Amino acid sequence: MRGVSGGAGEFGHVVLDPDGPPCRCGNRGCIEVYASFRGPLEEAERHFGRSLRITDVAEMAIAGDPFCIELVQRAGSIGGHGLGIIGSVLNPPLVVVSGRLAMTGDILIAPLAESFERHTLIKRADVPEATRTIIRASQFTDNGACIGAVGLVLRHHGQLN
């Protein structure tokens, strides 16, 4: 599905809060505004008194820093809210979460999956295990979207099942 004007699949611009912060698309409170991690990075910079990258926060969360763990968990919860809406529309068999925060594994995925469950239509307890949406962290942190695009082309041309 590409959409009549090529705009299908822009899940990052599903509005979670119409009174939320402005998004680069012109709307307010889009998933992308929260999932971009811009705000949490600013919080981390104020907390630690120095500039940090997403990778720094992810590595500090993995090392056990409670402030960074909280930031990653909150991002997971917000991302899961948005994915829950998308889950209600698509009921996908698998959601692969990519990006640099995905390297934190369950620090991100556990609150994300819990929030997904809370906000999506089909609840895990209501369906057999084989028909539940699986949520996993990508193994690829920097080029996951590119690899996914290649997979889409290969599948379209019958080179991949």
Chain residues that interact with Zn ion, rule: CB under 5 A: 13, 23, 25, 27, 30
Phi, psi (deg, nearest 5) at residue 98: -115, -175
Is 10 or 142 the residue whose CB approaches Zn ion more closely?
A: 10
CB of 29 to Zn ion, least distance (A): 8
CB of 25 to Zn ion, least distance (A): 3
Is 25 or 134 the residue whose CB approaches Zn ion more closely?
A: 25
What is the Cα–Cα distance from 30 to 140, expressed in whole angstroms?
Answer: 25
CB of 99 to Zn ion, least distance (A): 17
Stated length of the chain: 161
Q: Please report, for residues 26, 32, 54, the alpha-carbon distance to residue 105 in angstroms, rounded to integers and kept in the order given.
A: 32, 20, 14
Reduce the DSSP state of residue 72 to 3 states and report it: helix
Q: Please report, for residues 92, 95, 147, the alpha-carbon distance to residue 87 in angstroms, rounded to integers and kept in the order given.
A: 6, 9, 22
CB of 10 to Zn ion, least distance (A): 8
